[in-house]
Structure 1
Amino acid sequence: MRAILVDDEGLALRDLERQLSKIPGMSVVGAFKYAGEALDHMAELKPDVVFLDIEMPEISGIEAAERIRTIDSEIDIVFVTAYEEYAVKAFELAALDYVLKPINSDRLQRTIDRISQHKPNHLDQTHEPDTAVVNCFQRLQISYGKPEPFSWRTARSQELFAYMIYKRNQPVRKDILLELMWPDIDYKKAYTQLYTTIYQIRRSLEAAGISIRLTNSGNDYYLDLGNNLYDVQEWENARLVLPELTSDNVALHVQWLEGYAGDYLLENDYWWSESERQRLRDLWYKHALAVGQAYQEANLSKEALLHYETIEKKFPFTEEIYFIIMKLHAENGDLHLSGKKYEQLLEMLREEYGMEPSSSVRQWAETYLD
């Protein structure tokens, strides 16, 4: 098994190399004091495992591990640290293992045993993973063919993944992610948090057998869905293949509207998701109005009324919908129901906005309801 060691402390580096040389089957093919040097030789040396100190100048062990993953995701990472708190953090990153300094030979042997057991399983995974579906209507969920729910390591990793799904198939600059997720944290610490969170996402996806790839390219990250599905995109794509709306095919368009399973990431309530939430709501609303108009043009007043009442449930603070329902009741000869809807409109506008109906609605009510 080929190993590369990286530690800016010369004594610690030599001690680890000495101990590994005593383990049968282990071959130290490179020992470096700076992570940048190790990264430059990674493709040439082709290690099976890299032992990384966490606290190093210029490039930290966490950042180095991040870059190694982009070079070859098959390389195992073992973090080496003198601090217990960093050991816990390394474990959270789902590195294969971590080792505390000073290194104990028995503990190091257990690490090598873990790597030996891990490699065959890792290499035997030749089957294609099941297609996963990322759901963002209402709340973030991933369906991936298993009964147990997909598990996130931290709330931050969940939010960062949600944002990368939102920006899917396009590069996202690291500085944008830092400002988005850690605006009030020291720049260097924020970078560490970013690399940690990216690791958590990748490991969670790998553990679940999901083939979504989150890659690093210079100053950018890029999320590739591959053959996996995204419910919002599928819903929008389905709209593009619908036939032109007529009274004969209105049921198909109603079915598409029903596919809107809840406002975008409503339960997660990420501040950055509001614009996308509003865009999708507007898309649904405009098409719902068109469907209602198709019902009316076909003289299907009962169906039209039920449809507009459905719209009102999703958009309970929209004067336009109240007004349409008022006029429909009036056209059906039921001025009592029209008047009740007008009273509901008055109450809603006063409670929500502290205002009266628009002049056109008031004039209509004075003409038909008095």
Structure 2
Amino acid sequence: MRVMIVEDEKPILDLMARLVGQHPSLTIVGTFTSSAAALAAYEEIKPDAAFLDVEMPRMGGIELADKLKAIDERVQIVFTTAYPQYAVEAFRVSAVDYLLKPVTPDAIERVVSRLSKNHALHSMPPPHAAATEEPTVRCLGTFETRLSDGSLMSWPTRKTEELFAYLLVYPNRIAGKWHLADLLWPDLDESRALHNVHNTVYRLKKALREAGIAVELTHSGEGYDLRKPPIFTDLELFRDFMKGAASIDEEKAVEGTKLLISSRGALFAGKDYAWSAGLEAEIFQQQASLASKLSDYYRRSGDETAAKEMLRAYLSYAPLDEKMNAELLRLYSKSGELGLFRSHYDKYAGLLSEELGLAPSDQIREMMKELSIN
């Protein structure tokens, strides 16, 4: 993990740099004796975590943390101080830990364990990362098929790709040829539409065979049947998980977190398949349910940083969800993260006005009003 250290006393800064630099999991990307200098350099060095002295002139560590969080919500904060009375205030800005001076190697080891856990949560590999356990096809937030070398599948026609998409979301069952004709070519007469079905099925089978994609597309009676191996699409992984996600325990939280972060959004995002609208709404509802359950689990476990991360992950592709925005703002308010509350409120209100011509709900506006009064 990349870390920065901010400490106004140079001897203590040098000591912290030695302690932090000795740990194999940490790489120091910047040391600063002033908050202003650290803030100015932040965008360039982009640390994963920041060790901040609480008591510094002009801009203390807690104020600096609030500004850093407004720039990057994911940065992890560790405070250092000789005065334990700052602990409550420090944790109001979602500090990962609080180290009393003089800082020891054991204290660094303890905090690295917590940092590493959060870093793993924030640093999931991209959905197309090559791995044998990764699905071949991504349907959530995109629609892409990867070959064994990691390159993208190239389709002969857009309808060939769309036919593949339809067969994937309704696998292992017969798709009637007349149904496919009406679904994919609703504006053509029956004979031309059926002719297109036959040609597109041929192109699809040829493209899959040449690409070495391990699926079987067969003609059966009046339709076509697609058979695929397990763990072929991220959609089926998500669906299978949600079947057993009535309650979330520690094991399910780990798996669910990976699925939520890697899903990246709507079913077949960017493809605009008319027939998938109902299924897209169903998946969105399930994604919201998962984000809410995971957030509740982490909050009950005392990890509000992870709870907020689950809400942010979902809102990154469903930014107008009123219930989830309200919950995230409530958590920001509860933890005293005023900068994050205001920046998120402004972003949400602006998007709501621009997209729908609406204002935030009475509940959300009341939270903003209370924050302004206090």
TM-score by length of 1: 0.56
Aligned to 2:372: 369
- Aligned amino acid, residue 304 of structure 1: A
Matched, 1:314 2:317: yes
* Structure 2 residue corresponding to 1:205, chosen from 208, 215, 218: 208
Aligned to 1:285: 288
Contact 2:266–2:317, Cα closer than 8 Å, also in 1: no
Query: How many angstroms does 1:190 deviate by?
Result: 2.0
Aligned to 2:359: 356
Matched, 1:257 2:254: no
In 2, distance between residues paired with 1:279 and 1:171? 22
User: Following superposition of structure 1 onto structure 2, how do residues 66-145 of structure 1 map, counting pairs within 5 Å?
Assistant: 133-145=136-148
User: Following superposition of structure 1 onto structure 2, how do residues 1-370 of structure 1 map, counting pairs within 5 Å?
Assistant: 133-146=136-149, 149-225=152-228, 229-240=232-243, 244-246=247-249, 250-335=253-338, 337-370=340-373
Query: How many angstroms does 1:287 deviate by?
Result: 0.8
1:194–1:360 distance in 2 versus 1, CA, 3 Å: same
Count of aligned pairs: 240
Higher RCO, Cα 8 Å, sep 6+: 2
Contact 2:137–2:145, Cα closer than 8 Å, also in 1: yes
- Aligned amino acid, residue 273 of structure 1: S
* 1:129-162 deviation line (CA, Å, top 9, x unaligned): xx98333234433334356643322222221122
- Aligned amino acid, residue 298 of structure 2: Y
1:154–1:338 distance in 2 versus 1, CA, 3 Å: closer
Contact 1:247–1:295, Cα closer than 8 Å, also in 2: no
* 1:302-349 deviation line (CA, Å, top 9, x unaligned): 333333333332221122233223222222234454344434443232
- Aligned amino acid, residue 177 of structure 1: L
Deviates more, 1:251-260 or 1:166-175: 251-260
> Counterpart of 1:170 in 2: which secondary structure?
coil
Contact 1:137–1:260, Cα closer than 8 Å, also in 2: yes
- Aligned amino acid, residue 324 of structure 2: I
In 1, distance between residues paired with 2:265 and 2:226? 24
1:258–1:197 distance in 2 versus 1, CA, 3 Å: same
Percent identity of paired positions between Structure 1 and Structure 2: 23
> Counterpart of 2:316 in 1: which secondary structure?
helix
Deviates more, 1:158-167 or 1:330-339: 330-339
Query: How many angstroms does 1:277 deviate by?
Result: 2.5
Unaligned runs of 5+ in 1: 1-130
1:254–1:219 distance in 2 versus 1, CA, 3 Å: same
> Counterpart of 1:269 in 2: which secondary structure?
coil
Cα-Cα RMSD: 3.1
Unaligned runs of 5+ in 2: 1-133
Deviates more, 1:161-170 or 1:305-314: 305-314
In 2, distance between residues paired with 1:268 and 1:248? 34
In 1, distance between residues paired with 2:149 and 2:293? 39
> Counterpart of 2:225 in 1: which secondary structure?
strand
1:200–1:286 distance in 2 versus 1, CA, 3 Å: same
1:318–1:185 distance in 2 versus 1, CA, 3 Å: same
Contact 1:132–1:210, Cα closer than 8 Å, also in 2: no
* 1:7-39 deviation line (CA, Å, top 9, x unaligned): xxxxxxxxxxxxxxxxxxxxxxxxxxxxxxxxx
Contact 1:137–1:263, Cα closer than 8 Å, also in 2: yes
TM-score by length of 2: 0.55
Radius of gyration: which is bigger? 1
Contact 2:265–2:318, Cα closer than 8 Å, also in 1: no
Contact 1:132–1:145, Cα closer than 8 Å, also in 2: no
